[in-house]
Amino acid sequence: MKFLCLACDTVMAFAERQLPGDGTMAAVFTCADCGREVAMLTNPMETQLVSSLGIRVGGRTVPEQPMELLRGTLASGGDAFVDDAGAEPDLATRTMRVTWDADASDRLARVPSFVRGMVKRIYSDYARERGIALITPDVMDRARTDLGLEGM
Amino acid sequence: MTRRIRTYADLGDAGGGDIVEQVTAQSDRLRRRLATIRHVIAIASGKGGVGKSFITANVAAALVQRGHRVGVVDADLNGPTAAMMLGAARTPLAVADDGVHPATTAAGCTLMSMDLLLASADSPVRWREPAEAAFVWQSTLETGALREFIADTAWGELDYLLIDLPPGTDRIARLLALVPHPAVLLLITTPSAAASGVVARSVTHARDAGLGDIALVSNMDGHVCSKCGTTTPLFGEHAGTALAERMGVPLWAAVPFDPRVGVDTDHGRPVVLSAAHTPAAVAIADLTDALERHTRAPTRLDPVPTP
């Protein structure tokens, strides 16, 4: 899928992706010559179809993780995986219980269902690794900045 | 005069949403993983209930017994049974930089199965996507999940990776899209006319997809009395041979039904280990011989006499 600016005969470049939380997606493409912008809007089914390919329109801000598609989409697989990457976290860190306050939970609920599990895990891991027991919107903002998670 | 708009191909690599690059990266990851595996064996049928998983579990156990490094992918996402048949415990799987570490099994092979990812043996597979739109995404997602099972599992160096496919003749083409050149496609049939008809279609599907290395296994091929050793046909006689001749593929084994096989299989004990003297175990040993011979020196698979 590409966009061609007919006036300039120039391939439009991806500029921005937004996931408003209702299962839809907006992807903005821009013409580098005339500056014209076009937003591609997908309905929930189209968004799901793209996400079920395990790809992200506009590219990735973090590399694809092992079994990311399965871990993000399998409703019953939340406890099936344990992280074992890099330095082994101590037992207390691995098993530390992380809770979400009401505002953070509301924000998480607005994340499209097909990536919600993965997003939740990323924030939970971020909190655990830093000894944060309660995830708030502030913690989510910090994680987004630290991990480069635009769109989440 | 109609204006000419440049086509997608005209634009080359420019533009897009980085989708082609991501799909390419997925393919590269799969290719790198497959490079660490000497032989991929696909086990399929098209028909359900013919014993694909039983054959897979026993061939895996037999190969391990012969000193090979073996991994098993249970590609039946919605009806996984390999964990039970191979004696794998449902414990959390470690995610490391090199991938998700597979489960080890009592049979000595490693395993990746949806069964390992579910909360309990009674839990069905549930996806987060809304079920009402499943017709849009389910097939794509399941193919992606199979790709991750193969590519994102830290198998290590393997001599054999056995992929146990679910029923459905279309599943063969889906696998071949991911693994274009398995060392052999084992098609499991029974001597029933219903199974033979479906398996014949699977042969055609596989050939249409360009696969030449196809072999048949006729499972439940007669019942051997455990007391007197007499073999009684459960379905028609010589149906496996007839199918092999009709489709021009070799029949590598005819595995008789044995009640002990069912009991041991339900307890995670491959019969090649627990009852190696039984006719079923002997037939699977013969099948494993044929598999080893073929992977040692691949030859064109022409019809061969009934074993």
Q: Dihedral of CA B265/B268/B269/B272: which sign?
A: positive
* CB-based burial label for B289 (10 Å; 0-12, 13-18, 19+): middle
pLDDT at A72: 79
| Mean pLDDT estimate for chain B | 89
Among B5, B96, B145, whose Cβ lies nearest the Cβ of A6?
B5
Q: Torsions phi, psi of A35, nearest 5?
A: 80, 0
Q: Out of B19, B129, B136, whose CB is closest to A57? A: B19
Chain A residues whose CB is inside 8 A of the B144 CB are 52-54, 69
Chain B residues with CB inside 8 Å of A56's CB?
Answer: 18, 22
Q: Which of B210, B109, B211, B107 is nearest to B155 (CA)?
A: B109
Confidence band for B91, pLDDT divided at 50, 70 and 90: confident
**For chain A, which residues make up each domain, given as ranges?**
1-59, 64-152
Range with the lowest mean pLDDT among A64-68, A91-95, B83-87, B98-102? A91-95
What is residue B9's predicted lDDT score, i.e. its pLDDT? 86
- Residue B27's beta-bridge partner residues? none
End-to-end CA distance of chain B: 70
pTM surpassing 0.90? Answer: no
In this prediction, does ipTM exceed 0.90?
A: no
Instruction: Give A1's contacts in chain B (Cβ within 8 Å).
Output: 16-17, 19
93-122 of B, contacting A, C-beta below 8 A: 93-97, 99-101, 116-119
Q: Give A-chain residues touching B16 at CB under 8 angstroms.
A: 1-2, 14
User: Residue range B222-229: average pLDDT?
Assistant: 83
Check pLDDT > 80 for residue B306: no
CATH number of A64-152: 1.10.8.550
> Cβ separation of B15 and A12 shorter than 8 Å?
yes
Interval B262-296: pLDDT, tens: 888 888 899 999 989 999 999 999 999 999 999 98
Nearest to A66 among B17, B140, B152 (CB): B152
Q: Which residue has the higher pLDDT, B236 or A123?
A: A123
Is the CB of residue A56 less than 8 Å from the CB of residue B22? yes
CB-based contact, B131 to chain A, within 8 Å = no
Q: Which CATH number applies to B21-296: 3.30.70.1560, 3.20.20.210, 3.30.160.270, 3.40.50.300? A: 3.40.50.300
Taking domain A1-59, whether its CATH number is 1.10.3470 is answered by no
Instruction: Determine what percent of chain B is predicted with pLDDT higher than 90.
Output: 57
Mean pLDDT of successive 10-residue stretches along chain A, which has 152 residues: 92 85 84 95 84 79 81 74 60 70 81 69 82 84 67 48
The distance between the two most distant Cα atoms of chain B, rounded to a whole number of Å, is: 87
**Residue A87: its pLDDT value, please?**
46
Per-residue pLDDT, A140: 85
Q: How close A32 gets to chain B, by Cα (Å)?
A: 11
Q: Over range B44-50, report the average pLDDT.
A: 91
pLDDT band at residue B307 using 50, 70 and 90 as cut-offs? very low
What are B246-263's pLDDT values in tens digits?
999 999 999 999 888 888
Q: In terms of DSSP H, where are the helices of B52-109? A: 52-65, 82-86
Residue B12 clears pLDDT 90, i.e. is over it = no
Q: What are phi and psi of A20, to 5 degrees?
A: -70, -10
pLDDT number for residue A112: 63
- CA A95/CA B90 separation, integer angstroms: 18
Query: What's the pLDDT score for residue A114?
Result: 59
- Residues in chain A closer than 8 A to B24 (CB atoms): none
Report whether B171 contacts B78 (CB < 8 A): no
